[in-house]
Amino acid sequence: MQLGFIGIKLSGKSTLFELLTQNKYETVHAGIAEYRRGQVTVPDERIDRLSEIYRPKKTTYALFDCVDVMGVPASMRTDQAAKYLEAVRQTDSLVAVLRAFDGYDAEGNPARIDPVKDLRTLEEDLIFADLLVAETRLEKVLHMKARSAPQFNPKELGVLEKCKAVLDDNRSLRDTELYPEEEKLIRGFQFLSRKPLMAVLNCDEAHYARRAEYESGFGNAFPDIPVTSVSALAEKEIMELEADERAVFMEELGIDEPAIHHVITTSYAAFGLISFFTVGEDEVRAWTLRKGETAPEAAGVIHSDLQKGFIRAEVVAYDDFIREGGMAAAKAKGLVRLEGKEYVVKDGDILNIRFNV
């Protein structure tokens, strides 16, 4: 899973990114833009519990690869924004970090807080960047058509024209219905406005206290975009304190749950993700999958050989495993099932893939 953090200038993207990656990242220079790459560990109490039971040599949580791009200054929109946004073109999903804290904007003026307007601005930038991609390709395809080139595919022309019409209308491609065949033809373009998107309101103390109100206002404007709130800077400062002092300050600032929980929980819901586990003396590990994916696809997340040589999966639900007190007891109760290629993996499944290479 790869998340791209986007936002207008000075919305606190990097502050949140540093908090979530625990300050471990690399900086990449790409033309005029600069971006950062890091990994976020997905906290999961179930893994803690499984690890206590197996005492494995290694415990591995699911990881999200994250990219943090700079926001473009208002004066450089919209054409330059497309260049900045190239850094998130290869990611799966987008996290829009929206400003909900007082302070100054990039021009040194008091910042206005308007997450709804900011997301509209961001959407315009995504749409514009996609329009550039669609138009460039369209030109090539039309050129091929004119020369009656053998690579010319009328279906590609059709889907590009369909996408361009939506983008020209200043709408994102997120809800555009495409046939699976059309979807396949545009996959390589990685249209930004088609990527699933969630929003994070990055709040100061006052806004965080009233987050329910702001989230519902935001939800009225964007009913299909899942939203959560964090207080990135405050929490980042708290993390610099000694571990035993943190809880007191978290409570004082009214931070119920760390930002990572808010962001991860919302991203699982927004992007249709689930976790499955593998267990053993060597390693207890969590993996991320999309809802609806099958046992062989889960095997493929672990290793491509496991997918190729997939025979069956031994499956037990985490809750059954815990309730029965371990694998042997779960087996005795018949709760460990043998599932085949069609099996749709559920959140919390513990899998053991049987394969043949």
**Residue 214 is a binding residue for ligand GTP (CB under 6 A):** no
The region of 8-16, 37-45, 121-129, 323-331 touching ligand GTP under the rule CB under 6 A is: 8-16
**DSSP per-residue string spanning 21-56:** TTT-EEEEEETTEEEEEEEEE---HHHHHHHHHH--
Q: Which of 13, 46, 195, 285 binds ligand GTP (CB under 6 A)?
A: 13
Query: 């400062």: which residue's tokens?
Result: 237
Q: What span, in angstroms and rounded, lies between the C-alpha atoms of 173 and 215?
A: 24
Residue (259 or 351) nearer to ligand GTP, CB:
259
The region of 5-13, 88-96, 148-156, 321-329 touching ligand GTP under the rule CB under 6 A is: 5-13
Site string for ligand GTP, 33-72 (x = CB under 6 A): -------------------------------------xx-
Largest Cα–Cα distance in the chain?
71
CB of 119 to Mg ion, least distance (A): 17
**Residue 233 is a binding residue for ligand GTP (CB under 6 A):** yes
Q: Which of 25, 35, 101, 318 binds ligand GTP (CB under 6 A)?
A: 101
* C-alpha distance from residue 304 to each of 141, 234, 241, 275, 293 (Å): 34, 42, 43, 18, 15
Smallest Cα–Cα separation from 228: which of 216, 220, 246?
A: 216
Q: Which residues bind Mg ion (CB under 5 A)?
A: 13-14
Residues of this chain, 169-208, that bind ligand GTP according to CB under 6 A: 202, 204
Residue (71 or 226) nearer to Mg ion, CB:
71
* 329: DSSP letter: H
The region of 4-12, 58-66, 270-278, 306-314 touching ligand GTP under the rule CB under 6 A is: 4-12
Burial class (CB in 10 A: 0-12, 13-18, 19+), 49: middle
Residue (21 or 294) nearer to ligand GTP, CB:
21
Residue (7 or 300) nearer to ligand GTP, CB:
7
Residue (87 or 298) nearer to ligand GTP, CB:
87
Q: Is 141 helix (H, G, I), strand (E, B) or coil?
A: helix
Say which entry of Mg ion, ligand GTP, none residue 307 contacts (CB below 5 to 8 A, set by partner kind).
none
CA angle (74 as vertex; 29, 104 as ends), nearest 5: 95
Residue (230 or 279) nearer to ligand GTP, CB:
230
Helix 259-270 vs helix 13-20: crossing angle, to nearest 10: 100
Q: Which of 1, 4, 12, 160 binds ligand GTP (CB under 6 A)?
A: 12
Smallest Cα–Cα separation from 125: which of 165, 69, 182?
A: 69
Paired tokens of 3: 């998340």
**Residue 226 is a binding residue for ligand GTP (CB under 6 A):** no
Note the residues at the interface with ligand GTP (CB under 6 A).
7, 9-15, 70-71, 101, 103, 202, 204, 231-233
